[in-house]
A and B are shown apart, each in its own frame.
Chain A
Amino acid sequence: MATTELDLVTPDATLYSGSAEMVVCKSVDGEIAFLADHMPYIGALDPCVVRVVGPGGGTDEVRVAVRSGFVEVKDNRVIMLADVALRADQIDVAAVTQEEAEATQRAAALPEPSAAADREVKWAQARLELARLT
Chain B
Amino acid sequence: MAGGQERVLRRRIRSVESTKKITRAMELIAGSRIVRAQHAITAARPYVAKMSEVVGHLAASPDSAGHPLFRSASDTRSVAIVTIAADRGLAGGYNANVIRATERLAAEHRSASRQVRMVTVGRKTTNYFRHRRADILFSLTGRSDRPTYGDAREVVGALVAAFESGDVDRIDLVYTRFLSMGSQAVTVRQLVPIMAPATEEHAAGQLPTAYEFEPEPSEILERLLPSWLEAEVLAALLEAAASEHASRQRAMKAATDNADELIKTLRRVMNRARQDAITTEIMEIVGGAEALRVVPSVDAGSYNETYQPMSESA
**A residues lining the B interface (CB < 8 Å):** 7, 9-14, 17, 27-29, 32, 39-44, 68-70, 72, 74, 79, 81, 83
Query: Chain B nearest CB: distance from A131 CB in Å?
Result: 23
Known: A12-B43, A70-B227, A74-B209. A42 touches B220 (CB 8 A): yes
Known interface pairs A9-B50, A42-B54. Does A28 touch B214 (Cβ–Cβ under 8 Å)? yes
A residues in contact with B44, CB < 8 Å: 11-12
Residues on A with beta carbons closer than 8 Å to the beta carbon of B53: 72, 79
CB<8 Å pairs between A and B, sample of 5 = A10-B47, A11-B152, A42-B58, A72-B54, A79-B53
Instruction: Give me the interface of B with A, judged by CB distance under 8 Å.
Output: 43-44, 46-48, 50-51, 53-54, 57-58, 149, 152, 209-215, 217, 219-220, 223-224, 227, 230-231, 234
Bound-state CA distance A13–B48 (Å) is: 11
A21 to nearest B CB, angstroms?
21
Out of A12, A44, A70, A79, name the residue touching B149 (CB < 8 Å).
Answer: A12
Of A17, A40, A41, the most chain B CB neighbours within 10 A belong to: A40
- Point out the residue from B210, B215, B227, B234 that lies within 8 Å of A69, measured CB to CB: B227
> Across the interface, do A81 and B50 meet the contact criterion of CB distance under 8 Å?
yes
Q: Is the pair B219, A41 in contact by a Cβ cutoff of 8 Å?
A: no
Interfacial chain A residues near B58, Cβ < 8 Å: 42
Complex: A43 Cα to B220 Cα, angstroms = 7
Neighbouring B residues of A28 by C-beta, 8 Å: 214-215
- Give the residue of A7, A40, A81 whose beta carbon is less than 8 angstroms from that of B211: A40
Give the complex CA separation of A98 and B126 in angstroms.
38
Residues from chain B with Cβ under 8 Å of A79 in the complex: 50, 53-54
Q: Which of B214, B227, B231, B234 makes the CB contact (< 8 A) with A41?
A: B214
Tell me how far the C-beta of B150 lies from the nearest C-beta in chain A, rounded to whole angstroms: 10
Given known A28-B214, A43-B213, contact A7–B46 (CB-CB < 8 A): yes
Taking a contact as CB atoms under 8 Å apart, the answer to whether A44 and B209 are in contact is no
A residues near B48, Cβ cutoff 8 Å:
11
CA distance A12 to B215 in the complex (A): 27
Determine whether the beta carbon of A43 is less than 8 Å from that of B214.
Answer: yes
Greatest chain B CB density within 10 A among A11, A40, A70, A81 is at A11
Contact B227 A81 (CB under 8 A): yes
User: When chains A and B are docked, how far (Å) is the Cα of A68 from the Cα of B222?
Assistant: 14
Complex: A32 Cα to B149 Cα, angstroms: 28
| Minimum CB–CB distance for A109 against chain B, Å | 23
- Determine whether the beta carbon of A44 is less than 8 Å from that of B219: yes
The answer to whether A39 and B227 touch across the interface, beta carbons within 8 angstroms, is no
Contact of A9 with B47 at beta-carbon distance under 8 Å, contacts A44-B220, A72-B54 already known: yes
Chain B residues with CB below 8 A from A17, complex form: 46
Q: Say whether A42 contacts B47, CB under 8 Å.
A: no
Return the contact of A40 from the options B43, B209, B234 (Cβ within 8 A). B209
Residues in A with CB closer than 8 Å to B209 are: 40, 74
Contacts of A27 in B (CB 8 A): 214-215
CA distance A99 to B44 in the complex (A): 28
CA gap between A32 and B212 in the complex, in Å: 12
Cβ contact within 8 Å between A81 and B214 = no
Query: Would you give the shortest CB distance from B102 to chain A, in whole angstroms?
Result: 25
Residue of chain A at shortest CB distance from B226: A83
Contact of B212 (CB < 8 Å), options: A7, A41, A69, A70: A41
CB-CB under 8 A from A29, the residues of chain B are: 214-215
Are A7 and B214 in contact, with the CB atoms below 8 A? no
Please, which residues of chain A bring their CB within 8 A of the CB of B152? 11
A17 CA to B51 CA, complexed, in Å: 15
Chain A hits for B223, CB < 8 A = 44, 68, 70
Task: Using known A-B contacts A28-B214, A83-B149, determine if residue A11 contacts B234 with beta carbons closer than 8 Å.
Answer: yes
CA distance A88 to B57 in the complex (A): 33
Query: Which residues in A have their C-beta under 8 angstroms from that of B227?
Result: 68-70, 81, 83
Contact of B210 with A14 in the complex, beta carbons under 8 Å: no
Contacting residues, chain B, for A13 (C-beta < 8 A):
43
